[in-house]
Chains A and B, each alone.
Chain A
Amino acid sequence: MLAAFVLAVTVVMSLAPFFYVVSTSFKETKSLFSYPPHWIPDPVYFGNYVALFQKHPFGWWLGNTLAISAIVTGLKLVIDGMAAYALAKLDFTGKHAIVTALLVSVAVPLAALLIPLFLITRSMGLIDTRLALILPPLANPLGVFMIRAFIAGLPDELILSARMDGASELEILRRVVAPLIRPGLVVHATFIFAYQYTSFLWPLVAVRDLQKQVITVGISSLRAIFTVDWGLISAASLIAAAPLTVIFILFQQAFLQQSLAGALKE
C-alpha cells in the first residue's frame, strides 16, 4: 500500500515535466505567458520543429552526436576488451602497476583535466574537429574494469584448452571469450553510448564551429541573451531525448543491470 503510493508519486514526478515540455513544444513562445495556461496547445503549432531544421543546424547536431557516440562505443569495446582480457587472463610483468594506475585514475575528476586537455588537443591541431570529440574519451579506464569482471568470471580451463588447440590469444579473445561475455559487452556498450551522447563540457570547450557541434551544446546555443525561445528549446530537448529513449527501450535489460558496482569491488 505504502509502496504503491511511493511509486505512484515517483512516476508522476518523473513524467510530469516531460508532458509539460511536449505541450510547450507545440505552442508559440508568446502564448506561454498567458495565465491561466492552456494545457493542450490550441492551435497546435509545428513552427518550433520546422525552425530547428531550417534556421538552425539541428540536423548536423543530431547526426554528429549519433556518429561520434557510435564510433566511440565501437572503438572503446575493442580497446577495453583487449585490455580487460590481458588483465584478467594473461600473466605478465608489471600487471599490478598497470591495474593500480588505471584504478587510481578512476578517481581523477575529468572536469579538472579540462584545461590541459584543451591545450594538448590544441597543440595536436585537433581543436574544432570532430576527432577532438572522439579521441580523449577513449582514455576512460572505467570500462576496462567492467569487462575484466566479466572475463574473470570465465573458467581458466576454457582458455587453456583453446591454447592447447593452438589458438592465438587474439583468436581466443575473438572466438571464445567475446561470445561468452556478450551480455556484458552489451551493458558496456549501452553505458558508453549514453555517456557519450549526453556529454556536454568537453564538446563545449573543444569545438566552436556550430556545424561540427554535438546536440547538447547545440541546444544550449539556442538560448539568446534577452529573449529565450522556449518553444524552440522544448522541441529541441524532446528530439534530443528520442534516440536515447529508443536505445533504452531496446536494451533496457542492459541498462537496468547496473553491473558497475561489481566491477569496482576491489
Chain B
Amino acid sequence: MEAATSPSHLTEEEHRRQRFWARARHNLTAYAFLAPILLFFLVFMALPVVWLFYLSFQHDGILAPARFAGLDNWRRTFSDALVLKCIGNTLYYCVLAIPTVFVLGMIVALSLQVVRRGAALLRIVIYFPTLQASLVVALIWTFMVHPDFGLLNLGIRALTGMRINFLGDPHFAMPTIAMIEVWKGLGFWAILFLSGLLALPKDLYQAAELDGAGPIRRFFSLTLPLMKPTFYFAVIFATIVNLQLFDSVFVLTDGGPVNSTATIAWYIYRSLFTFSDPGFGATLSFVLVILVVALTALQTWLLRERVR
C-alpha cells in the first residue's frame, strides 16, 4: 500500500526536504520585507524601553560619567512632591479635556450628519484647527487669552471692565490649556465620530422611527451602543496622546504658575535639560509608560466586555 502512494522512501525524504526548503524560503522572503521596520523598531523603540529601565538605576551620565544609583531614583520618584503633582496635573488635564472634546465632537458630528448644503466646506473649516501644530495653536491662543490684547479678554473687558489672567492664575491655567487642546482636537474627533455615524445601518433607524422612537431616544438606545467600537478606539487613543501633554505647556506656562501646569512629560524634559539628571528622568518616564499601559489595559478590559 505504501509503495503505491509514494514510490520509494527516498522520495518521501525528498518531499520533506523540499517542504523544509520551501518553508525556509518563505521565511527568508517575509523577513527580508520586515527587515527595515524591525531594524528601526529595535534601535529606536525596543532598545530605548530596555535602556529606560537600566537608566533608572543610574545617576548622572550627561555632564559627569554615569554611576550606579541603586534604588535612589525610584525612592525619589515616589517621595518627590513635584512628581505626585505632575501625575495629578496630567490626570486632571485628561479628565477635563477628554470628556469635553468627546461630547462636543459628538454634537458637532451629529450636526454635520444632518446638514445637506455645504457639508464638504464645513468639514474642511472644522478640521482646520486640528491640522495645525500644537505649538502654533498654543501661540495663536496667546492672542486669545493675553491679559492686554487677548481677544477673549477684550470681550470680557468690554462687558465687565475686568480682565482674567487665564494663564497667570494657578486655578485657571490648567483649564485654559485644556480648553486650547479641546479647541484643537474638536475637528479630529468630530470627523472621526462622523465617519462612525455614517457607517451605521440605516434600516435600524427607519424601524425605530416607525416604532415611534424620538431622536433623543434613538440617540441613546441606538447610536451610542452601535458606536461602541469607535468609542473604544477613541478612548484608548485619546488617553495615550493626552497623557503625554507637553507642547502647549512648554510654550504657554512652562509648568507654572506654582507648578499648576507641570505635566509628566514636562518634568521628563526638565530633568534632562535643566537638571541634567537622566536617571531620575528615566524613572519618571518609566512611571509614564506604566501609567499609559495600565490605563490602556484597563480600558481595553472594561470596553471589550461591553463591545461584545
Contacts and interface: CB of A to CB of B under 8 A. Distances in A.
B43 to A, nearest CB: 7
B144 A20 contact: yes
Interface of B: 23, 26-27, 29-31, 33-34, 36-38, 40-41, 43-49, 51-52, 55, 61, 107-108, 110-112, 114-115, 120, 122-129, 131-136, 139-144, 146, 148-149, 151, 154, 157, 183, 186-187, 190-192, 195-196, 229-230, 233-234, 236-237, 240, 243-244, 246-247, 250-251, 264-265, 268-269, 271-273, 278, 281-282, 285-286, 288-289, 292-293, 296
A201 interface: yes
Contacts of A215: 133
Nearest to B136: A237
A144 B37 contact: yes
Contacts of B265: 109, 111-112, 114, 201
A244 to B, nearest CB: 5
Given A83-B33, A200-B247, A233-B139, A264 B233 contact: yes
Contact of B30 (A20, A92, A258): A92
| Chain B interface, >50% SS class | helix
Contact of A114 (B29, B123, B229, B272): B272
Nearest to B26: A92
B233 A15 contact: no
Contacts of A162: none
Contacts of A7: 108, 111-112, 115, 122, 126
Nearest to A83: B37
B230 A261 contact: yes
Interface string A242-253: 001100110010
A205 B296 CA distance: 27
Contacts of B111: 2-4, 6-7, 10
Contacts of A164: none
A160 to B, nearest CB: 14
B135 A216 contact: yes
Interface of A: 2-4, 6-7, 10-11, 13-18, 20-21, 24, 32-33, 35-37, 78-80, 82-83, 85-87, 90-93, 95, 98, 101-102, 105-120, 135-136, 138-139, 141, 144, 169, 173, 194, 197-201, 204-205, 215-217, 219-220, 223, 230, 233-234, 237, 240-241, 244-245, 248-249, 252, 255-258, 260-261, 264-265
Given A17-B151, A115-B268, A198-B134, A138 B128 contact: no
A116 B143 contact: no
Contacts, number: 293
Given A114-B285, A256-B123, A200 B144 contact: no
B135 A200 contact: yes
A219 B40 CA distance: 30
B190 to A, nearest CB: 8
A200 to B, nearest CB: 5
B150 to A, nearest CB: 9
Contacts of B114: 3
A260 B43 CA distance: 25
Contact of B44 (A109, A135, A258): A135
A154 B294 CA distance: 35
B278 A82 contact: no
18 contacts: A4-B111, A6-B108, A7-B108, A7-B115, A35-B157, A91-B30, A101-B46, A107-B240, A107-B292, A112-B285, A112-B288, A115-B271, A138-B40, A173-B33, A215-B133, A230-B142, A248-B124, A264-B237
